[in-house]
Amino acid sequence: MTRSDGGDHADNGEQIPARGVHYEVVAETVSTVIMANSVTGGIHHHSDRGDSHLELSAVTLANTDPPDASSVMLDLKLRNTGGQPAILHRATVHIHDAVALSSYAMVGFMPFEVWWARGVLQVSHTYDINLPLPRHAAGSRHNLDLSQAIEPAGTDRFRIRLGIPGPLDTILYLLHFDIHFNKDRTITSPAIAIAHPPGSTLATPDAIRADLQRFRRAVRVVRDAVDREMTARGLPAPDWDNHPPASRAELPPKLRSVDGVLPNADGVRAGSLDEVFGEDGRTYSVYDEFWNPDNSVAQRLADIHAYCNRIVNIINGASIRHDSMPQILTQAQTVLDQIPVLRADLVRPENGDHN
């Protein structure tokens, strides 16, 4: 086993640097798949006895040691059982889907926006490739130049280090890779799900319920403030129960309770924005979600359902998974199971008594 030159090359089309400093030490192995099948040549080619015969014998998914929390290592073991050298010249990483794992995608819903005033076979080489942010990842392909040669009856082991972009939320990727060798031949890995850096968790159903109840309280406080301001102007208060205004245009201009400052609930703490936001007096403006809160809560639950379902599909779509995947899968499935209950409890019109 030899390297055919001394250079490292990466071309993944991204300018996003991985966080932290890269280290060569590999920590605890978290997932390994031993490949029993071999691949000889490309899809349209067949090998003979005198050709190279390359097997992807094992793929190991490992974290790098602290303080390098910015990458995941793919540890590849290959074997050439043919009669000619196998020259590995390129790897292609195919990303099927990616999503940031964060409770902030599930809670923090408000009707307004506020502005604040180990191995026997030694590793021959490590290659680096930076993965894109989730919003750019799905369907993308990223090439990485390789310089490896495996002699007949020889073996090789090398690593591909996947750099994970910021922010610090855990990012889930579903991907596979191709190893291109000789002139036009390819071996393909199983699907791999990675989650890095570990640590982020999903919001619980109870946290989602509390967040949407907080949203409802905030809507009621703003409505009460609108009523008081309209009455002070000598205008009739909106009929929130039967004919609520559908948009900002259906209320008079220059309403401080809608697009001025957070309404002070005249010292009434229960249900005031002091309770639902923290303190009064900041400049703010209501969102479109304010005008039809029942539909807004229903859509929010639909978005959370789609988000958790996407996470489940990423994890279940992989043969090789990070060891944190079972916990993440359980969290996402728990939320999905409770969405119908949350919808039944929380998707209802505002009552006249604001209960």
Instruction: Tell me the CATH number at 95.
Output: 2.60.40.770
Query: Which of 161, 178, 196 is the C-terminal boundary of a domain?
Result: 196
Question: Using CA atoms, how far apart are residues 334 and 9, in angstroms rounded to an integer?
Answer: 43
What's the Cα-to-Cα distance from 7 to each of 89, 127, 168, 176, rounded to whole Å?
12, 10, 31, 24
**Of 191, 14, 167, 181, whose CA–CA distance to 95 is shortest?**
191
**Are residue 222 and residue 315 in the same domain, yes or no?**
yes
| Cross-strand partners of 24 | none
**Are residue 214 and residue 191 in the same domain, yes or no?**
no
What's the Cα-to-Cα distance from 261 to each of 223, 238, 252, 280, rounded to whole Å?
14, 20, 16, 8
Per-residue pLDDT, 234:
94
**Are residue 243 and residue 284 in the same domain, yes or no?**
yes
| Token pair in block for residue 348 | 């209802």
> Are 209 and 345 spatial neighbours (Cβ–Cβ below 8 Å)?
yes
What is this structure's pTM? Answer: 0.75
The tokens 């819903």 sit on which residue? 109
* 106 found inside a domain: no
Question: Using CA atoms, how far apart are residues 3 and 209, in angstroms rounded to an integer?
Answer: 57
Cα 173 to its chain centre, rounded Å, is 7
Contacts of 339 (CB under 8 A, 6+ apart): 301, 304, 305
The domain total for the chain is: 2
* 306 found inside a domain: yes
Question: Using CA atoms, how far apart are residues 293 and 274, in angstroms rounded to an integer?
Answer: 20
DSSP 105: G
**Are residue 175 and residue 35 in the same domain, yes or no?**
yes
> Are 331 and 201 spatial neighbours (Cβ–Cβ below 8 Å)?
yes
| Token pair in block for residue 344 | 């039944």
**Are residue 60 and residue 131 in the same domain, yes or no?**
yes
> What crossing angle do the helices spanning 293-316 and 325-346 adopt, rounded to 10°?
160
Q: pLDDT of the chain along its 355 residues, tens only?
A: 434 443 333 333 333 333 222 222 233 333 444 443 333 333 223 344 468 888 998 888 876 554 455 678 889 999 998 889 999 999 999 999 999 988 877 888 888 765 544 334 666 788 999 999 898 999 999 999 999 999 999 999 999 988 887 666 889 999 999 999 998 899 999 999 998 887 788 999 999 999 999 999 989 989 998 999 999 999 999 999 889 999 999 999 888 888 765 544 443 333 344 444 444 445 667 889 999 999 999 999 999 999 999 999 999 999 998 888 999 999 999 999 999 999 999 987 544 333 3
**Are residue 325 and residue 295 in the same domain, yes or no?**
yes
DSSP 145: E
Is the bond leading into 238 cis (omega within 30 degrees of zero)? no
**Are residue 246 and residue 173 in the same domain, yes or no?**
no
Task: Report the SS3 class of residue 334.
Answer: helix
**Are residue 158 and residue 270 in the same domain, yes or no?**
no
**Are residue 231 and residue 271 in the same domain, yes or no?**
yes
* 58 found inside a domain: yes
| Token pair in block for residue 295 | 């539909």
What domain range is 242 assigned to?
205-346
**Of 185, 188, 190, whose CA–CA distance to 89 is shortest?**
185
**Are residue 157 and residue 247 in the same domain, yes or no?**
no
**Of 310, 299, 347, whose CA–CA distance to 332 is shortest?**
310
DSSP 103: G
